[in-house]
Amino acid sequence: MTSQKLNTFLEKNLHELKDNGLYNEIDVIEGPNGAEIKVNGKQLINMSSNNYLGFANDQRLKAKANEATETYGVGAGAVRTINGTQTIHEELEAKIAEFKHTEAAVAFQSGFNCNMGAISAVMNKNDAILSDELNHASIIDGCRLSGAKVIRVKHQDIDDLRAKAKEAVESGLYEKIMYITDGVFSMDGDVAKLPELIEVAEEFDLITYVDDAHGSGVMGKGAGTVKHFGLQDKIDFQMGTLSKAVGVVGGYVAGSQNLIDWLKVRARPFLFSTSLTPGAAAACIEAIDIMSNSTDEHDRLWDNGRYLKEGLKNLGFNIGNSDTPITPCIIGEEKLTQTFSKRLTEEGVYCKSIVFPTVPRGTGRVRNMPSAAHTKDQLDKVLKIYEKVGKELNVIS
């Protein structure tokens, strides 16, 4: 017999989520994730993917993945520290380090695993972490796991960071203090003020950690937000994913050789979880090679981002203050946001609603993620549908 207390808890809270418009229905895609997708038998223009450069279904990456699978097998067969490190994994890490302009890099099974493993491998209960209040959930959970004192910093507020860094240092309570931030904030598309942050970090000897999950492949001609500002020698941790612009799966931390050596013996997801599949590692190498040798996909991404932003803004939508191709349409109330998203789908555009707790209450939105794979014809269709649904629901006049 299963637990009655568990069943009561689940039924009560699921009912509450649905009543408040906070329950997220999971859609199943029937085929590859590209500029268009099929959901429930219907072809839709896809505006919700993190597949920025269109690599998730790229023939070049698929060919490399198939080739590596034939050579190395479908799985690595063990954790990295036993005998799950194959030459393809070392090749990937060397390629990442070269791409990020660091001494070394280590690959993890996901970006979430990176933050869970890397933060807690360096920070502990004797330390403090200054964390931007809008940081990703994986950063929040990684900080909690470390046991360090977490000090929330107002979003992109350099004065608040300086004041809290000064207070933490002068308290004498902490052995080490870290400042951690997203490079690109995924809900609003704004970019971290890294040059100003570095000034504060140097003033107070803060460890610096940039989660560039949405910046790698997008900023710095593809090399990321840190490279965009030319700060490769100023940031201790460059973390990123291999599942967004790279189009595959996994994550990494790039930094000094000493840092990477430490993570390989102390980061628990690296120590206790099986390696990336050889096929995934090979596909990631191919994606990085493409980004290193050409900016074609990067340039198309930014051109499409500008085109969509201008169109939505001209229609009267609130698109916030994004500095990147990420383009939110901020609707506000949660149920209206979900209705807006549903109507978009019915008209032919797939753009999922994002509501509390992912974003603060009352700031529900549909977040548009244009990619290098979209055509202008597709984006024009998107804009026409947005206009129709926006007027129908009185979101625009």
Q: Which of 146, 186, 275, 371 is catalytic?
A: 186
In angstroms, rounded to a whole number, what is the distance separating the alpha carbons of residues 67 and 360? 45
Question: Is 49 designated active site?
Answer: no
Q: Which amino acid is at 207?
A: I
Handedness of CA 296, 297, 300, 301 (dihedral sign): negative
**In the chain, where does DSSP find H-type helix?**
4-19, 59-72, 87-100, 111-122, 137-146, 158-171, 194-204, 225-228, 257-266, 268-272, 278-293, 296-315, 334-347, 376-392
For residue 127, what pLDDT band results from cuts at 50, 70 and 90?
very high
Look at the domain 20-49+295-393 and name its fold: Aspartate Aminotransferase, domain 1 (3.90.1150)
Query: pLDDT over 90 for what percent of the chain?
Result: 94
Average pLDDT over residues 249-268: 98
Whether 356 has a pLDDT exceeding 90, the answer reads no
Average pLDDT over residues 369-376: 97
Residue 346, CB-side half-sphere exposure with 13 Å CA sphere: 8
For residue 395, what pLDDT band results from cuts at 50, 70 and 90?
very high
Whether 21 has a pLDDT exceeding 80, the answer reads no
Query: Domains of the chain: which residue ranges?
Result: 20-49+295-393, 59-293
Whether 24 has a pLDDT exceeding 90, the answer reads no
Q: Which of 244, 298, 309, 352 is catalytic?
A: 244
State whether CATH 3.40.50.2000 applies to domain 59-293.
Answer: no
Question: Is 214 designated active site?
Answer: yes
Question: Is 275 designated active site?
Answer: no
Q: Which of 214, 227, 298, 374 is catalytic?
A: 214
Whether 22 has a pLDDT exceeding 90, the answer reads no
pLDDT of residue 1: 82
In angstroms, rounded to a whole number, what is the distance separating the alpha carbons of residues 267 and 254? 14
Whether 23 has a pLDDT exceeding 90, the answer reads no
Average pLDDT over residues 91-96: 98
Residues 40 and 226 sit within 8 Å (Cβ to Cβ): no
Spatial neighbors of 96 by CB under 8 A, at least 6 apart, are 105, 107, 252, 254, 288
In angstroms, rounded to a whole number, what is the distance separating the alpha carbons of residues 53 and 218? 8
Residues 44 and 38 sit within 8 Å (Cβ to Cβ): yes
For residue 359, what pLDDT band results from cuts at 50, 70 and 90?
confident
Angle 179-182-183 from CA coordinates, rounded to 5°: 110
In angstroms, rounded to a whole number, what is the distance separating the alpha carbons of residues 339 and 325? 24
Q: Which amino acid is at 393?
A: L
